[in-house]
Amino acid sequence: MFFRTLLAMGTLALASLVQAQEPIRIGAFLSVTGPAAFLGDPEQKTLELYVEKINAAGGVLGRKLQLYSYDSAGDAEKARAYVKRLIEQDKVDVLVGGSTTGETMAAVPLVEAAQVPFISLAGAVVIIEPVKKWVFKTPHTDRMACEKIFDDMRARGATKVALISGAGGFDRSMRAECLKVASAHGVQIVADESYGAGDTDMTAQLTKIKNTPGVQAVLNCGFGQGPAIVTKNYRQLGIQAPFYQSHGVASKQYVKLSGDAAEGVRLPAAALLIAETLPASDKQKKVVVDYKREYESRFKSEVSTFGGHAYDGLMLAVDAIKRAGGTDRAKMRDALESTKGYMGTAGVVNMSAKDHMGLDLSAFRMLEVKKGDWALVQ
C-alpha cells in the first residue's frame, strides 16, 4: 500500500510537469556515483547544461527538451531497471547513456525489444559489433586506439611491441583488442604482462619486459593510477624504448601523477584535450573550444573527454530529431543511421547501416608529453 501511494504520488508529480506542448523526452542512465563516477559525473553535467541551453534557445522543432536522468552507479542490474523505467514509465523518445560497457550491454536487449533509439556513451567494440539496429555510440573504440598507436610505432620503425595491462574492464578489453589487431598493423607482440588493481609497484613486470630481447616499443593498456606508477617505474629502470599510454589516461591528472617521468610519453586522445592549441585551420577547433568554454565556465572544473561523449550523444539525437521532423522512433533511428559529416568533440561522424559509430582514425590525435603539457605529434 505504502509503495502504491508513493508510486501514485510520483506519477502525479510527473504528470504536472508535462506541459501543454508535449516536450521531447530524453532518457539518460549514467554512473553518476560509484567507481565509474569519473565518467558519469561530467556526462550528467553536460546533458543538464545543454538541455538547458537548447531550451533557452527555443527547443527543438518548437518543442522543449525534458531530461529524465537516473544514477545507475556502474551497476548493470540497476541500469536494466532504470532503462525499463525510462521506456515504460517515463516513455522517453530517445536514450542517451550507459557510461560503462556493462551498463550498455545490459540495456541492449531491452532497447532492441522496445525499439527505442539508444546512443551509448561507453567504449568497447562489442556495443556496435555486430551492428544492433537501435544501438549507436559516440566514443572511439579501444580497437581504434590500438590501431592509432601501432601505426605511430611503425612510423617510428618499431615492430616488436611489449604490452603491460591492468586488471580493470577498460584495460582487459583494450588488451584483447590490441592483441587482435596487432598483426594486421604489422607489429608483433613479444611480451604480454599484467598487473593487479591497486598494485603500487610494477618493476617486476617491467624488468621482465626489459629483459625480453628485441622489444622496440612498450604500450600500457591501463586506466586510473596504475599507468602513472608504470610510467615512473619505466624511467627508474631506464628502459629506452618509446613508451605509449592509452586514451584512458588522457587527462592532466596522469601528467601530474607521473611528474617528470611522463616526458616523451605518447598517447592517442580526442582533440578536446588540446582545444586551444589546435591550429586555426582545424575544422574541429570551434566545436571543442566552445564546449570547453561552456563547461568550464559553468562548473569551474576541467573538461573531460567523457563529458564530450555525452555532448556528442545529445547533439546527434537533436540533429536526428530535426531531420526526422519529429520523434517517430523509426524515423529518428533512420535519421541517426544516415548522420553524415556531423562534427563533434570526438571527431567527424559518418554513420552507415554497417557502422553505428561513424568515427575513423582521424578522430584520434597522437599527443606527446612535453614540459608537462600536451603537444600534437605532427
Partner 1 sequence: MSRKGFAVLALVVALLPLALTNNYTYEVAIVVGLNAIVCVGLNLLIGYAGQISLGHAGFFGLGAYGSAILAARYGWPPFAALASAVAGVSFIAWVIGKPVLRLKGHYLAMATLGLGIIVAVVLATEDQITGGPDGMAVPPLGVASFVLQGEKLWYWIVGAVLLATVWLALNIIDSPHGRAWRALHGSEVAAGAIGIDPARHKLTAFVLSAASAALAGALTAHYSGFITPAKASFLHSIELVTMVVFGGMASTFGAVVGAAILTTLPQLLTALKEYEMVTLGAVMMLTMIFMPQGLVPTLEKALAAARRKPE
Residue 299: closest CA among 286, 283, 310, 313: 310
Segment 95-114, which members bind partner 1 (CB under 8 A)?
100-102, 105-106, 109
Work out the angle at residue 43's Cα, subtended by the Cα atoms of residues 39 and 47, and round it to the nearest 5 degrees: 170
Beta carbon nearer to partner 1, 70 or 254: 70
Beta carbon nearer to partner 1, 173 or 251: 173
Residue 42: closest CA among 312, 266, 279: 312
Dihedrals phi, psi of 238, to nearest 5 degrees: 65, 35
Task: Assess contact for 5 and 46: CB atoms under 8 A.
Answer: no
Segment 299-338, which members bind partner 1 (CB under 8 A)?
none
Q: Rounded distance, CA 358 to CA 161, Å?
A: 29
Beta carbon nearer to partner 1, 30 or 351: 30
Question: Which of 87, 230, 273, 288 lies at the binding interface for partner 1 (CB under 8 A)?
Answer: 87
Cell matching residue 217: 616499443
Cell matching residue 362: 582521424
Amino acid of residue 321: I
Question: Which of 46, 99, 173, 305 lies at the binding interface for partner 1 (CB under 8 A)?
Answer: 173
Q: Rounded distance, CA 365 to CA 249, Å?
A: 14
Q: Is 59 helix (H, G, I), strand (E, B) or coil?
A: coil
Beta carbon nearer to partner 1, 127 or 324: 127
Q: Rounded distance, CA 373 to CA 263, Å?
A: 9
DSSP code string of 238-269: T--S-EEE-GGG-SHHHHHHHGGGGTT-EEEE
Q: Rounded distance, CA 177 to CA 179, Å?
A: 5
Question: Which of 53, 84, 133, 286 lies at the binding interface for partner 1 (CB under 8 A)?
Answer: 84
Cell matching residue 370: 612535453
Task: Assess contact for 128 and 347: CB atoms under 8 A.
Answer: no
CB of 102 to partner 1, least distance (A): 4
**Residue 172 in contact with partner 1, rule: CB under 8 A:** yes
Beta carbon nearer to partner 1, 43 or 337: 43
Residue 364: closest CA among 244, 216, 218, 188: 244
**Residue 10 in contact with partner 1, rule: CB under 8 A:** yes
Mask for 18-47, x = binds partner 1 (CB under 8 A): ---------------x--------------
Beta carbon nearer to partner 1, 68 or 243: 68
Beta carbon nearer to partner 1, 125 or 181: 125
Mask for 109-138, x = binds partner 1 (CB under 8 A): x--------------x-x------------
Among 135-143, 169-177, 235-243, 247-255, which window interacts with partner 1 (CB under 8 A)? 169-177
Task: Assess contact for 154 and 186: CB atoms under 8 A.
Answer: yes
Beta carbon nearer to partner 1, 87 or 255: 87
Question: Which of 37, 38, 85, 366 lies at the binding interface for partner 1 (CB under 8 A)?
Answer: 85
Binding site for partner 1 (CB under 8 A): 3-4, 6-7, 10, 13, 33, 70-71, 74-77, 80-81, 84-85, 87-89, 100-102, 105-106, 109, 124, 126, 167-169, 172-173, 176
